[in-house]
């Protein structure tokens, strides 16, 4: 059985990483393959760090530019930060 590559950008892989990474200083630090500075849905030679800010549902690049928004990840729209990773 082929294992899912969590570095491929998708909402499902974002959720997997959110359940593994600590929530600190108001954001989650996640990693995805990147193409032209954006999270990629296919494997690339580059992996970049991104930051999910749940108090707005925005995924930001290393320069804090918004590269993705989803109300699914917005605490103001009902997203609940996993208790197991909270480290305020």
- pLDDT at position 39: 98
Quote the pLDDT of residue 1.
40
Predicted confidence at residue 87, as pLDDT, reads 55
Span 15-42, pLDDT tens digits: 999 999 999 999 999 999 999 999 999 9
Residue burial 21-47, b: 16+ Cβ < 10 Å; e: rest: bebeeebbebebbbeeebbbeeebeee
Nearest to 32 by CA among 17, 47, 20, 19: 47
**Residues of the chain above pLDDT 70, percent:** 90
User: Does the pLDDT of residue 88 top 60, yes or no?
Assistant: no
Per-residue model confidence (pLDDT) at position 55:
92
Both tokens assigned to 71: 């109300």
């Amino acid at each position: 059985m082929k294992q899912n590559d969590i570095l491929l950008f998708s909402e499902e892989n974002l959720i997997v990483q959110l359940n593994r990474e600590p929530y600190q200083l108001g954001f989650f630090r996640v990693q995805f393959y990147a193409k032209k500075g954006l999270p990629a849905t296919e494997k690339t030679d580059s992996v970049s760090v991104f930051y999910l800010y749940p108090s707005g549902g925005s995924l930001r690049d290393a320069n804090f530019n918004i590269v993705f928004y989803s109300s699914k990840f917005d605490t103001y729209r009902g997203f609940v930060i996993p208790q197991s990773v909270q480290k305020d």
